[in-house]
């Protein structure tokens, strides 16, 4: 065999797998048909966070006069913004390439297609391996009747390129993480933004109470949100994009005009050109390649990780699965056994959660109690002028075990690590309450929520 392992796809899951395989002494290659770093580093996680930061600074500049900082009219240099964002991407992808090289991973450029269960063809050349890790990721799902042109009708990739001038009217089709993140970017930079969502609620998977608080804040910021609403078709005309919008319950239709339309209705696994069937690998009707807890597919020496392996489609899930696959191939006792996988909406404020929602805990038969600490009672949140939101802890009543933590507030994603560790280590609310947290910090809110479970929080009236 040419290699011990060939990783197909150099996104977060793929490059984690390749680097770990190299660290463990396996002769490793990684195949990438586009750019190292995959969707996440190039046109996903990283550039969107750069845009969100810029948009957050713009919003903060508008309110700085409240504490004595008076800015002249803040101007936006679109070309410089896009260039700054692209520079961050280039530094990170260059760093990943350097890490692959340092760990003696061979990079093969091109589309990987299976010839048989031990051979792939890349750029006209055949390469053999004892093991394969499929990490081909996902791509934006398409909406019939709304054709993406990456100019005025865009998916998440096209939305990253901010046009000049900023579009006056923006429609986001889809009330998930991607829809809300781009809605806030465009809203803060000057667009009038509307989100429409087919389902009765937005941000699937998040706690209902947290979502209600989150959407209330988004609406206060000027973002319009309509649920049980769909887009039937979109037509580009001289005065903008004419979108036929339908109320799902009543069937009533109307046409509205926008300057830019984002289609963010989800993602679908990417397996085109892979020819997985030639290796005997099972691909579902929806395009997923299922794997067990060791990330093995139905063909034991071929592994599947990340978005292509199944939901949730999250980079950090892919990273963990990539490490598991590499370690299993190297003969280590590893499997994907995470208690919970965190989710985040990186807006301002952020919505972040890990573990069971209140509804999920009740559905599973737990007898629960909960503690809620409002950001309005946090001294640190006050100093940041970000007092909207709360920290909610869901706990099993009989054992005091933490079942889930849900946060709406500033830097919620950074607070979530403690909660994830608590779930992984089977910590109780009392364990967290007994831990001294630095003051003043946003992290104190985790302690206060734990204390609130027992009606002993200091900075709120316990009811």
Task: Show which residues are catalytic.
Answer: 439
d(CA 129, CA 88): 34
Chain-centre distance of CA 131, in angstroms? Answer: 29
Would you state the torsion angle of the CA atoms of residues 428, 431, 432, 434, taken in this order, to the nearest 10 degrees?
150
d(CA 266, CA 273): 21
Peptide bond into 208 cis (omega under 30): no
End-to-end distance of the chain based on CA atoms, in angstroms?
67
SS3 428: strand
C-alpha distances out from residue 236 to 232, 252, 363, Å: 14, 22, 46
Adjacent-strand bridge partners of 233: 244
C-beta separation of 279 from 271 below 8 A: no
C-alpha distances out from residue 350 to 100, 171, 184, 406, 455, Å: 33, 21, 11, 11, 26
SS3 206: coil
d(CA 184, CA 175): 12
C-beta separation of 350 from 211 below 8 A: no
C-beta separation of 338 from 321 below 8 A: no
């Amino acid at each position: 065999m040419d290699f011990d392992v060939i990783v197909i796809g150099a996104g977060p899951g793929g490059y984690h797998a390749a680097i770990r395989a190299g660290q463990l002494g396996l002769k490793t290659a990684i195949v990438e048909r586009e750019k190292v770093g995959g969707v996440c580093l190039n046109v996903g996680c990283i550039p969107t966070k750069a845009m969100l930061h810029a948009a957050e600074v713009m919003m903060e500049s508008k309110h700085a006069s409240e504490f004595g900082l008076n800015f002249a009219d803040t101007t936006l240099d679109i070309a410089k913004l896009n260039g700054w964002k692209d520079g961050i991407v280039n530094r990170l992808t260059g760093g990943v390439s350097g890490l692959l090289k340092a760990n003696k991973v061979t990079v093969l450029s091109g589309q990987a297609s299976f010839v048989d269960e031990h051979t792939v063809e890349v750029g006209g050349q055949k390469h053999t391996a004892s093991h394969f890790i499929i990490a081909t990721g996902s791509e934006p799902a398409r909406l019939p009747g709304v054709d993406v042109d990456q100019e005025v009708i865009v998916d998440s990739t096209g939305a990253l390129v901010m046009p000049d001038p900023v579009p006056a009217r923006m429609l986001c089709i889809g009330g998930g993480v991607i829809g809300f993140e781009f809605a806030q970017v465009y809203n803060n930079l000057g667009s009038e933004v509307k989100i429409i969502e087919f389902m009765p609620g937005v941000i699937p998977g998040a706690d209902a109470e947290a979502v209600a608080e989150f959407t209330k804040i988004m609406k206060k910021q000027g973002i319009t949100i309509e649920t049980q609403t769909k887009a039937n078709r979109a037509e580009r005309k001289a005065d903008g994009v004419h979108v036929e919008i339908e109320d799902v319950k009543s069937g009533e239709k109307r046409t509205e005009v926008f300057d830019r339309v984002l289609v963010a209705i989800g993602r679908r696994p990417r397996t085109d050109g892979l020819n997985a069937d030639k290796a005997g690998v099972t691909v579902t009707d929806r395009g997923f390649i299922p794997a067990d807890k060791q990330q093995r597919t139905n063909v034991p020496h071929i592994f599947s990780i990340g978005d292509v392996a199944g939901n949730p489609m999250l980079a950090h899930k892919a990273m963990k699965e990539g490490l598991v696959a590499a370690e299993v191939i190297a003969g280590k006792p590893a499997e994907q056994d995470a208690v919970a996988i965190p989710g985040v909406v990186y807006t301002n404020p952020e919505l972040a959660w890990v573990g069971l929602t209140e509804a999920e805990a009740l559905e599973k038969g737990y007898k629960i109690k909960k503690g809620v600490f409002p950001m309005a009672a946090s001294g640190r949140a006050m100093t940041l002028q970000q007092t909207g939101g709360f920290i909610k802890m869901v706990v099993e009543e009989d054992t005091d075990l933490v079942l889930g933590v849900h946060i709406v507030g500033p830097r919620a994603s950074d607070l979530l690590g403690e909660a994830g560790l608590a779930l992984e280590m089977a910590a109780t609310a009392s364990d967290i309450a007994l831990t001294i947290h630095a003051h003043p910090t946003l992290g104190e809110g985790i302690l206060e929520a734990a204390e609130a479970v027992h009606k002993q929080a200091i900075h709120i009236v316990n009811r």
